[in-house]
Amino acid sequence: MATVEECRAALRKLAEQFDEVDEETRAKHVVERTIGCRISDLDTTFYGRIHHGGLDPFQEFPAKADGAADIRLTISSDDLVALVAGELDMTRALFSGRVKIEASFGDMLRLRKLL
């Protein structure tokens, strides 16, 4: 099981990777949304915000605050670290149930273009 600090580092890396998405793609597919990333095995949730300028740093909150985000992901600590490192394919993780995403249909389509 990865630690909270390892998850925090993975989310920082995710924000850096998002900064590499070209501006045209961001302009076409990004709508300002809040994102909640619940780390199921650590009972911790990180919140961030996606917008045309990038992905803001994630802040840690207790898992009880889950419902406050527009887009909610649930993932284990090890899977988060593996996903960001490129060792876990997002599509396979979704279909196998290792990653769960709660979002509107439109947000799901936009996320697919960015991941």
DSSP string, the chain: ---HHHHHHHHHHHHHHHHTS-HHHHHHH---EEEEEEETTTTEEEEEEEETTEEPPPEEEEGGGGGG-SEEEEE-HHHHHHHHTTSS-HHHHHHHTSEEEE--HHHHHHHHHH-
Identify the domain containing residue 57 by its residue range.
4-114
Structural domains counted in the chain: 1
Query: What is the reported pTM?
Result: 0.86
User: Looking at residue 46, what is its pLDDT?
Assistant: 95
Residue 20 has pLDDT above 90, yes or no: no
Residue 65 has pLDDT above 60, yes or no: no
CATH number of the structural domain spanning residue 84: 3.30.1050.10
